[in-house]
Structure 1
Amino acid sequence: MRNITADLKRKQQIFAEDGAQVSMLRICMADGTSANVIYRCMRWCASHHLGLIAYFFQWLNKFMNGCIIGSGANFSAGFVIMHPVGIVINSKVVGGMNITLESGVVIGDEKGQSPILENNIFVGSGAKIIGSLTVADNVKIGANAVLTKNAEKGATMLGIPAKPYKKKTCGVTS
Protein backbone atom coordinates (compact mmCIF):
# COMPACT_ATOMS: atom_id res chain seq x y z
CA MET A 1 0.00 0.00 0.00
CA ARG A 2 2.93 2.34 0.71
CA ASN A 3 4.15 2.06 -2.88
CA ILE A 4 0.68 2.78 -4.29
CA THR A 5 0.45 5.93 -2.18
CA ALA A 6 3.96 7.00 -3.26
CA ASP A 7 3.07 6.33 -6.91
CA LEU A 8 -0.08 8.46 -6.66
CA LYS A 9 1.75 11.30 -4.89
CA ARG A 10 4.47 11.23 -7.56
CA LYS A 11 1.83 11.41 -10.31
CA GLN A 12 0.23 14.38 -8.54
CA GLN A 13 3.67 16.03 -8.37
CA ILE A 14 4.17 15.52 -12.13
CA PHE A 15 0.84 17.22 -12.81
CA ALA A 16 1.82 20.09 -10.49
CA GLU A 17 5.17 20.53 -12.28
CA ASP A 18 3.14 20.92 -15.50
CA GLY A 19 1.06 23.66 -13.84
CA ALA A 20 -2.04 21.59 -13.02
CA GLN A 21 -2.97 21.51 -9.35
CA VAL A 22 -5.20 18.44 -9.19
CA SER A 23 -6.80 16.59 -6.30
CA MET A 24 -5.91 13.06 -5.31
CA LEU A 25 -9.38 12.01 -6.50
CA ARG A 26 -8.53 13.35 -9.98
CA ILE A 27 -5.20 11.49 -9.89
CA CYS A 28 -7.02 8.26 -8.98
CA MET A 29 -9.25 8.71 -12.02
CA ALA A 30 -6.43 9.70 -14.40
CA ASP A 31 -5.33 7.55 -17.32
CA GLY A 32 -2.76 4.98 -16.22
CA THR A 33 -3.58 4.96 -12.51
CA SER A 34 -5.49 1.69 -12.67
CA ALA A 35 -2.52 0.11 -14.48
CA ASN A 36 -0.25 1.27 -11.65
CA VAL A 37 -2.53 -0.11 -8.94
CA ILE A 38 -3.03 -3.44 -10.73
CA TYR A 39 0.76 -3.72 -11.22
CA ARG A 40 1.32 -3.14 -7.49
CA CYS A 41 -1.29 -5.79 -6.60
CA MET A 42 0.30 -8.23 -9.05
CA ARG A 43 3.77 -7.52 -7.66
CA TRP A 44 2.60 -8.02 -4.08
CA CYS A 45 1.03 -11.37 -4.97
CA ALA A 46 4.14 -12.49 -6.87
CA SER A 47 6.43 -11.55 -3.97
CA HIS A 48 4.19 -13.52 -1.58
CA HIS A 49 4.26 -16.65 -3.77
CA LEU A 50 0.67 -16.24 -4.97
CA GLY A 51 1.54 -16.87 -8.60
CA LEU A 52 -1.92 -17.73 -9.88
CA ILE A 53 -3.42 -14.56 -8.40
CA ALA A 54 -0.48 -12.53 -9.74
CA TYR A 55 -1.15 -13.99 -13.17
CA PHE A 56 -4.80 -12.94 -12.87
CA PHE A 57 -3.72 -9.33 -12.18
CA GLN A 58 -1.33 -9.46 -15.14
CA TRP A 59 -4.17 -10.67 -17.36
CA LEU A 60 -6.48 -7.98 -15.96
CA ASN A 61 -3.94 -5.26 -16.77
CA LYS A 62 -3.57 -6.59 -20.29
CA PHE A 63 -7.29 -6.49 -21.03
CA MET A 64 -8.26 -3.46 -18.97
CA ASN A 65 -5.31 -1.18 -19.77
CA GLY A 66 -3.60 -2.65 -22.83
CA CYS A 67 -0.27 -3.13 -21.11
CA ILE A 68 1.77 -6.16 -20.13
CA ILE A 69 4.06 -5.97 -17.13
CA GLY A 70 5.82 -9.15 -16.05
CA SER A 71 5.12 -10.25 -12.49
CA GLY A 72 8.83 -10.22 -11.66
CA ALA A 73 9.37 -6.62 -12.80
CA ASN A 74 10.26 -4.68 -9.68
CA PHE A 75 9.93 -0.89 -9.46
CA SER A 76 10.51 1.17 -6.32
CA ALA A 77 8.21 3.91 -5.05
CA GLY A 78 7.15 6.67 -7.40
CA PHE A 79 6.53 4.44 -10.43
CA VAL A 80 4.11 6.29 -12.74
CA ILE A 81 2.38 5.06 -15.87
CA MET A 82 0.98 8.14 -17.60
CA HIS A 83 -0.74 6.29 -20.46
CA PRO A 84 -0.70 2.48 -20.29
CA VAL A 85 -1.65 1.41 -23.82
CA GLY A 86 1.13 -0.54 -25.52
CA ILE A 87 3.50 -0.71 -22.55
CA VAL A 88 5.42 -4.01 -22.34
CA ILE A 89 7.87 -4.67 -19.51
CA ASN A 90 9.87 -7.88 -19.10
CA SER A 91 9.73 -9.76 -15.79
CA LYS A 92 13.45 -9.29 -15.12
CA VAL A 93 13.42 -5.47 -15.26
CA VAL A 94 14.48 -3.62 -12.11
CA GLY A 95 13.58 0.03 -11.63
CA GLY A 96 14.50 2.55 -8.97
CA MET A 97 12.47 5.44 -7.61
CA ASN A 98 10.45 7.91 -9.68
CA ILE A 99 10.27 6.11 -13.02
CA THR A 100 7.72 7.69 -15.41
CA LEU A 101 6.52 5.89 -18.54
CA GLU A 102 4.44 7.20 -21.44
CA SER A 103 2.43 5.02 -23.87
CA GLY A 104 3.98 2.35 -26.07
CA VAL A 105 7.17 1.92 -24.04
CA VAL A 106 8.93 -1.43 -24.27
CA ILE A 107 11.52 -2.42 -21.67
CA GLY A 108 12.75 -5.81 -22.76
CA ASP A 109 15.11 -8.69 -22.49
CA GLU A 110 17.88 -9.66 -24.87
CA LYS A 111 19.50 -13.07 -24.46
CA GLY A 112 18.22 -13.38 -20.90
CA GLN A 113 19.44 -9.94 -19.80
CA SER A 114 17.13 -7.04 -18.94
CA PRO A 115 17.73 -3.34 -18.25
CA ILE A 116 18.26 -1.77 -14.86
CA LEU A 117 16.70 1.66 -14.46
CA GLU A 118 18.07 3.76 -11.62
CA ASN A 119 16.21 6.80 -10.18
CA ASN A 120 14.31 9.77 -11.64
CA ILE A 121 13.91 8.51 -15.19
CA PHE A 122 11.42 9.67 -17.82
CA VAL A 123 10.70 7.43 -20.82
CA GLY A 124 8.83 9.05 -23.73
CA SER A 125 6.11 7.53 -25.90
CA GLY A 126 7.16 4.59 -28.05
CA ALA A 127 10.69 4.36 -26.63
CA LYS A 128 12.39 0.97 -26.45
CA ILE A 129 14.99 -0.04 -23.85
CA ILE A 130 16.44 -3.43 -24.69
CA GLY A 131 19.08 -5.74 -23.23
CA SER A 132 21.71 -5.74 -20.53
CA LEU A 133 22.17 -2.06 -19.85
CA THR A 134 21.87 0.51 -17.10
CA VAL A 135 19.94 3.75 -17.32
CA ALA A 136 21.59 6.00 -14.73
CA ASP A 137 19.92 8.59 -12.50
CA ASN A 138 18.10 11.60 -13.96
CA VAL A 139 17.94 10.35 -17.55
CA LYS A 140 15.29 11.35 -20.08
CA ILE A 141 14.65 9.04 -23.02
CA GLY A 142 12.91 10.73 -25.93
CA ALA A 143 9.86 9.54 -27.81
CA ASN A 144 10.57 6.59 -30.13
CA ALA A 145 14.23 6.36 -29.07
CA VAL A 146 15.78 2.89 -29.10
CA LEU A 147 18.24 2.47 -26.24
CA THR A 148 20.61 -0.50 -26.50
CA LYS A 149 23.59 0.88 -24.55
CA ASN A 150 24.05 2.42 -21.11
CA ALA A 151 22.77 5.95 -20.52
CA GLU A 152 25.01 8.20 -18.43
CA LYS A 153 23.72 10.17 -15.45
CA GLY A 154 21.66 13.21 -16.46
CA ALA A 155 21.66 12.40 -20.18
CA THR A 156 18.84 13.04 -22.64
CA MET A 157 18.81 10.11 -25.06
CA LEU A 158 17.37 10.60 -28.55
CA GLY A 159 17.24 8.70 -31.84
CA ILE A 160 17.65 5.23 -33.27
CA PRO A 161 19.97 4.03 -31.89
CA ALA A 162 19.66 6.42 -28.94
CA LYS A 163 22.58 8.75 -28.34
CA PRO A 164 23.06 11.54 -25.82
CA TYR A 165 21.67 14.87 -27.02
CA LYS A 166 24.25 17.61 -26.98
CA LYS A 167 22.81 21.08 -26.92
CA LYS A 168 24.46 23.28 -29.53
CA THR A 169 25.51 26.69 -28.35
CA CYS A 170 26.17 29.64 -30.51
CA GLY A 171 29.48 31.24 -29.53
CA VAL A 172 29.42 34.96 -30.14
CA THR A 173 32.49 36.92 -29.30
CA SER A 174 32.72 40.68 -29.17
Structure 2
Amino acid sequence: MFDKLKAYLDSIRARDPAPRSRWEILLYPGVWALGFHRVAHWLFEAKLYFLARVVNHVSRALTAIDIHPGATIGRNFFIDHGFTVIGETAEIGDNVTIYQCVTLGGTNPTNGKGGKRHPTLEDNVIIGSGAQIIGPITVGERARVGANAVVTEDVQPGATMVGLKARSTLVPAEEWIREFIPYGTPSDDPCEPRSDCIEKLENELNLLKAEIADLKAEQARARTDEAARQASLDFGRKSGTGD
Protein backbone atom coordinates (compact mmCIF):
# COMPACT_ATOMS: atom_id res chain seq x y z
CA MET A 1 0.00 0.00 0.00
CA PHE A 2 2.73 2.44 0.99
CA ASP A 3 4.71 1.55 -2.13
CA LYS A 4 1.68 2.39 -4.29
CA LEU A 5 1.19 5.69 -2.46
CA LYS A 6 4.86 6.51 -2.85
CA ALA A 7 4.75 5.74 -6.58
CA TYR A 8 1.64 7.92 -6.94
CA LEU A 9 3.24 10.87 -5.14
CA ASP A 10 6.38 10.49 -7.24
CA SER A 11 4.28 10.54 -10.41
CA ILE A 12 2.84 13.90 -9.34
CA ARG A 13 6.26 15.25 -8.45
CA ALA A 14 7.47 14.34 -11.94
CA ARG A 15 4.71 16.55 -13.41
CA ASP A 16 4.82 19.43 -10.91
CA PRO A 17 8.09 21.22 -10.06
CA ALA A 18 6.58 23.09 -7.09
CA PRO A 19 6.73 20.55 -4.21
CA ARG A 20 10.00 20.05 -2.34
CA SER A 21 8.92 16.74 -0.80
CA ARG A 22 6.23 14.07 -0.87
CA TRP A 23 4.80 15.53 2.34
CA GLU A 24 3.83 18.70 0.49
CA ILE A 25 2.04 16.68 -2.18
CA LEU A 26 -0.01 14.97 0.53
CA LEU A 27 -1.60 18.38 1.18
CA TYR A 28 -2.72 18.86 -2.42
CA PRO A 29 -6.52 19.07 -2.76
CA GLY A 30 -6.35 16.91 -5.88
CA VAL A 31 -4.73 14.10 -3.90
CA TRP A 32 -7.39 14.30 -1.19
CA ALA A 33 -10.18 14.46 -3.77
CA LEU A 34 -8.89 11.32 -5.47
CA GLY A 35 -8.61 9.54 -2.11
CA PHE A 36 -12.19 10.43 -1.22
CA HIS A 37 -13.31 9.36 -4.68
CA ARG A 38 -11.75 5.90 -4.31
CA VAL A 39 -13.93 5.40 -1.23
CA ALA A 40 -17.03 6.92 -2.82
CA HIS A 41 -16.60 4.84 -5.98
CA TRP A 42 -16.27 1.65 -3.92
CA LEU A 43 -19.55 2.51 -2.17
CA PHE A 44 -21.16 3.37 -5.52
CA GLU A 45 -20.13 0.03 -7.00
CA ALA A 46 -21.65 -1.65 -3.93
CA LYS A 47 -24.91 0.25 -4.71
CA LEU A 48 -24.65 2.23 -1.48
CA TYR A 49 -25.50 5.35 -3.41
CA PHE A 50 -26.45 7.59 -0.50
CA LEU A 51 -23.25 6.87 1.42
CA ALA A 52 -21.27 7.41 -1.77
CA ARG A 53 -22.93 10.82 -2.14
CA VAL A 54 -22.12 11.68 1.47
CA VAL A 55 -18.43 11.02 0.86
CA ASN A 56 -18.63 12.99 -2.38
CA HIS A 57 -20.27 15.91 -0.55
CA VAL A 58 -17.57 15.98 2.13
CA SER A 59 -14.86 15.80 -0.51
CA ARG A 60 -16.37 18.68 -2.49
CA ALA A 61 -16.64 20.83 0.65
CA LEU A 62 -13.00 20.20 1.61
CA THR A 63 -11.31 20.30 -1.77
CA ALA A 64 -13.56 22.33 -4.12
CA ILE A 65 -13.35 19.38 -6.52
CA ASP A 66 -16.52 17.53 -7.49
CA ILE A 67 -15.98 13.99 -8.76
CA HIS A 68 -19.16 11.97 -9.13
CA PRO A 69 -18.88 8.62 -7.32
CA GLY A 70 -19.72 6.80 -10.54
CA ALA A 71 -16.74 8.15 -12.49
CA THR A 72 -14.05 5.60 -13.37
CA ILE A 73 -10.48 6.79 -12.80
CA GLY A 74 -7.20 5.00 -13.56
CA ARG A 75 -3.76 5.16 -11.98
CA ASN A 76 -1.74 8.30 -11.21
CA PHE A 77 -4.55 10.76 -11.86
CA PHE A 78 -3.51 14.31 -10.94
CA ILE A 79 -5.72 17.37 -10.53
CA ASP A 80 -3.48 20.39 -10.11
CA HIS A 81 -5.11 23.01 -7.84
CA GLY A 82 -8.84 22.30 -8.08
CA PHE A 83 -12.30 23.69 -8.90
CA THR A 84 -12.87 20.78 -11.27
CA VAL A 85 -16.09 18.90 -12.07
CA ILE A 86 -16.12 15.29 -13.32
CA GLY A 87 -19.43 13.69 -14.27
CA GLU A 88 -20.91 10.30 -13.46
CA THR A 89 -20.08 8.37 -16.64
CA ALA A 90 -16.65 9.93 -17.19
CA GLU A 91 -13.81 7.47 -17.74
CA ILE A 92 -10.22 8.51 -17.12
CA GLY A 93 -7.17 6.43 -18.04
CA ASP A 94 -3.72 6.27 -16.48
CA ASN A 95 -1.35 9.21 -15.93
CA VAL A 96 -3.94 11.84 -16.83
CA THR A 97 -3.31 15.44 -15.73
CA ILE A 98 -6.04 18.04 -15.29
CA TYR A 99 -5.44 21.65 -14.33
CA GLN A 100 -7.83 23.97 -12.49
CA CYS A 101 -11.41 24.88 -13.46
CA VAL A 102 -11.93 21.98 -15.88
CA THR A 103 -15.32 20.39 -16.55
CA LEU A 104 -15.84 16.87 -17.85
CA GLY A 105 -19.51 17.50 -18.50
CA GLY A 106 -22.42 15.53 -19.86
CA THR A 107 -25.08 16.00 -22.49
CA ASN A 108 -28.79 15.46 -22.11
CA PRO A 109 -29.66 12.05 -23.61
CA THR A 110 -32.37 12.27 -26.26
CA ASN A 111 -33.67 8.74 -25.74
CA GLY A 112 -34.63 9.22 -22.11
CA LYS A 113 -31.95 6.86 -20.79
CA GLY A 114 -28.92 7.75 -18.73
CA GLY A 115 -26.29 5.86 -20.67
CA LYS A 116 -22.88 7.28 -21.47
CA ARG A 117 -23.09 11.07 -21.15
CA HIS A 118 -19.57 12.15 -20.20
CA PRO A 119 -16.13 12.08 -21.84
CA THR A 120 -13.52 9.34 -21.90
CA LEU A 121 -9.90 10.45 -21.43
CA GLU A 122 -7.36 7.88 -22.54
CA ASP A 123 -3.87 7.45 -21.04
CA ASN A 124 -1.46 10.40 -20.65
CA VAL A 125 -3.99 13.07 -21.63
CA ILE A 126 -3.36 16.65 -20.44
CA ILE A 127 -6.26 19.08 -19.97
CA GLY A 128 -5.37 22.78 -19.63
CA SER A 129 -7.02 25.13 -17.14
CA GLY A 130 -10.57 26.24 -17.85
CA ALA A 131 -11.16 23.65 -20.58
CA GLN A 132 -14.64 22.21 -21.07
CA ILE A 133 -14.91 18.64 -22.39
CA ILE A 134 -18.57 17.97 -23.10
CA GLY A 135 -20.46 14.83 -24.04
CA PRO A 136 -19.70 11.14 -24.58
CA ILE A 137 -16.58 11.80 -26.64
CA THR A 138 -13.13 10.22 -26.51
CA VAL A 139 -9.93 12.20 -26.04
CA GLY A 140 -7.21 9.98 -27.50
CA GLU A 141 -3.99 8.89 -25.88
CA ARG A 142 -1.47 11.69 -25.19
CA ALA A 143 -3.81 14.31 -26.61
CA ARG A 144 -3.67 17.81 -25.16
CA VAL A 145 -6.47 20.29 -24.64
CA GLY A 146 -5.40 23.91 -24.34
CA ALA A 147 -6.64 26.36 -21.73
CA ASN A 148 -10.27 27.46 -22.10
CA ALA A 149 -10.86 25.20 -25.10
CA VAL A 150 -14.36 23.78 -25.57
CA VAL A 151 -14.29 20.24 -26.95
CA THR A 152 -17.46 18.53 -28.16
CA GLU A 153 -16.04 16.04 -30.68
CA ASP A 154 -13.62 13.12 -30.51
CA VAL A 155 -9.94 14.03 -30.30
CA GLN A 156 -7.38 11.96 -32.19
CA PRO A 157 -4.41 10.50 -30.27
CA GLY A 158 -1.56 12.98 -30.08
CA ALA A 159 -3.67 15.97 -31.17
CA THR A 160 -3.74 19.37 -29.50
CA MET A 161 -7.13 21.09 -29.18
CA VAL A 162 -7.19 24.88 -29.04
CA GLY A 163 -9.84 27.55 -29.31
CA LEU A 164 -13.57 27.89 -28.88
CA LYS A 165 -15.01 25.74 -30.41
CA ALA A 166 -11.79 23.77 -30.23
CA ARG A 167 -10.04 22.76 -33.44
CA SER A 168 -7.63 19.87 -33.73
CA THR A 169 -4.02 20.32 -34.75
CA LEU A 170 -2.01 17.11 -34.89
CA VAL A 171 1.31 17.11 -33.11
CA PRO A 172 4.35 15.37 -34.69
CA ALA A 173 5.04 11.98 -33.14
CA GLU A 174 8.47 13.02 -31.90
CA GLU A 175 6.71 15.67 -29.81
CA TRP A 176 3.78 13.78 -28.34
CA ILE A 177 5.72 10.68 -27.35
CA ARG A 178 7.58 12.74 -24.78
CA GLU A 179 6.67 11.79 -21.24
CA PHE A 180 5.03 15.02 -20.10
CA ILE A 181 4.49 18.59 -21.28
CA PRO A 182 3.16 20.91 -18.53
CA TYR A 183 -0.20 22.62 -19.07
CA GLY A 184 -0.71 20.87 -22.41
CA THR A 185 0.24 23.98 -24.41
CA PRO A 186 3.98 24.74 -24.22
CA SER A 187 5.37 28.14 -25.14
CA ASP A 188 7.06 26.72 -28.23
CA ASP A 189 3.71 25.37 -29.38
CA PRO A 190 4.35 22.67 -32.01
CA CYS A 191 0.76 22.53 -33.19
CA GLU A 192 0.96 25.44 -35.65
CA PRO A 193 3.15 25.56 -38.78
CA ARG A 194 4.87 28.74 -37.65
CA SER A 195 7.43 28.89 -40.48
CA ASP A 196 4.59 28.73 -43.00
CA CYS A 197 2.78 31.52 -41.20
CA ILE A 198 5.89 33.70 -41.20
CA GLU A 199 6.49 33.02 -44.89
CA LYS A 200 2.88 33.90 -45.69
CA LEU A 201 3.11 37.15 -43.72
CA GLU A 202 6.39 38.04 -45.45
CA ASN A 203 4.81 37.47 -48.87
CA GLU A 204 1.86 39.66 -47.95
CA LEU A 205 4.24 42.35 -46.67
CA ASN A 206 6.22 42.27 -49.92
CA LEU A 207 3.02 42.63 -51.92
CA LEU A 208 1.99 45.63 -49.84
CA LYS A 209 5.40 47.20 -50.28
CA ALA A 210 5.17 46.69 -54.07
CA GLU A 211 1.70 48.26 -54.15
CA ILE A 212 2.93 51.26 -52.13
CA ALA A 213 5.93 51.67 -54.47
CA ASP A 214 3.61 51.60 -57.51
CA LEU A 215 1.34 54.21 -55.93
CA LYS A 216 4.30 56.45 -55.15
CA ALA A 217 5.62 56.11 -58.73
CA GLU A 218 2.20 56.89 -60.14
CA GLN A 219 1.92 59.96 -57.93
CA ALA A 220 5.40 61.10 -59.02
CA ARG A 221 4.47 60.68 -62.70
CA ALA A 222 1.27 62.63 -62.14
CA ARG A 223 3.19 65.47 -60.47
CA THR A 224 5.71 65.52 -63.35
CA ASP A 225 2.98 65.59 -65.96
CA GLU A 226 1.19 68.35 -64.10
CA ALA A 227 4.40 70.40 -63.84
CA ALA A 228 5.08 69.93 -67.57
CA ARG A 229 1.53 70.97 -68.46
CA GLN A 230 1.74 74.02 -66.25
CA ALA A 231 5.10 74.97 -67.75
CA SER A 232 3.65 74.64 -71.26
CA LEU A 233 0.71 76.89 -70.35
CA ASP A 234 3.03 79.51 -68.85
CA PHE A 235 5.23 79.46 -71.94
CA GLY A 236 2.18 79.86 -74.19
CA ARG A 237 0.94 82.84 -72.25
CA LYS A 238 4.35 84.52 -72.36
CA SER A 239 4.67 83.87 -76.08
CA GLY A 240 1.25 85.36 -76.73
CA THR A 241 2.10 88.52 -74.73
CA GLY A 242 5.34 88.98 -76.65
CA ASP A 243 3.53 88.98 -80.01
Shorter-chain TM-score above 0.5 = yes
Determine the structure 2 residue equivalent to 1:11.
12
Greater Rg over alpha carbons, structure: 2
Deviation at 1:34, TM superposition (A): 1.5
SS in structure 1 of the partner of residue 50 of structure 2: helix
> Is 1:106 paired with 2:107?
no
Give distance in 1, aligned partners of 2:118 and 2:142.
Answer: 19
- 1:17-38 CA-to-partner distances (Å, cap 9, x unmatched) read x4x5732212102342222211
* Pair 1:26–1:108, CA change in 2 (3 A): same
Q: 1:36 aligns with which of 30, 34, 37?
A: 34
Post-superposition, which runs of at least 4 consecutive aligned residues in structure 1 deviate over 3 A? none
Gaps of 5+ in 1: none
Query: How many pairs were matched up?
Result: 168
Q: 1:170 aligns with which of 195, 208, 211?
A: 195
SS in structure 2 of the partner of residue 54 of structure 1: helix
Identity of aligned residues (%): 30
Deviation at 1:43, TM superposition (A): 1.5
CA contact (8 A) 2:40 2:51 kept: yes
CA contact (8 A) 1:145 1:161 kept: yes
Give distance in 2, aligned partners of 1:13 and 1:44.
Answer: 28
> Is 1:94 paired with 2:63?
no
More strand by share: 1
Determine the structure 2 residue equivalent to 1:70.
68
More helix by share: 2
Deviation at 1:62, TM superposition (A): 1.6
Which residue identity lines up with residue 9 of structure 2 in the other structure?
L
Which residue identity lines up with residue 97 of structure 1 in the other structure?
D
Determine the structure 2 residue equivalent to 1:153.
157
- 1:66-109 CA-to-partner distances (Å, cap 9, x unmatched) read 22111110011111111122x11110011111111111110011
Give distance in 1, aligned partners of 2:153 and 2:32.
Answer: 31
CA contact (8 A) 1:9 1:78 kept: no
Q: 1:131 aligns with which of 128, 132, 135?
A: 135
* Pair 1:149–1:123, CA change in 2 (3 A): same
SS in structure 2 of the partner of residue 157 of structure 1: strand
* Pair 1:53–1:135, CA change in 2 (3 A): same
TM-score, normalization by structure 2: 0.63
* Pair 1:23–1:73, CA change in 2 (3 A): same
CA contact (8 A) 1:35 1:84 kept: no
RMSD: 2.2
CA contact (8 A) 2:78 2:97 kept: yes
Q: 1:26 aligns with which of 13, 24, 27?
A: 24
SS in structure 2 of the partner of residue 167 of structure 1: coil
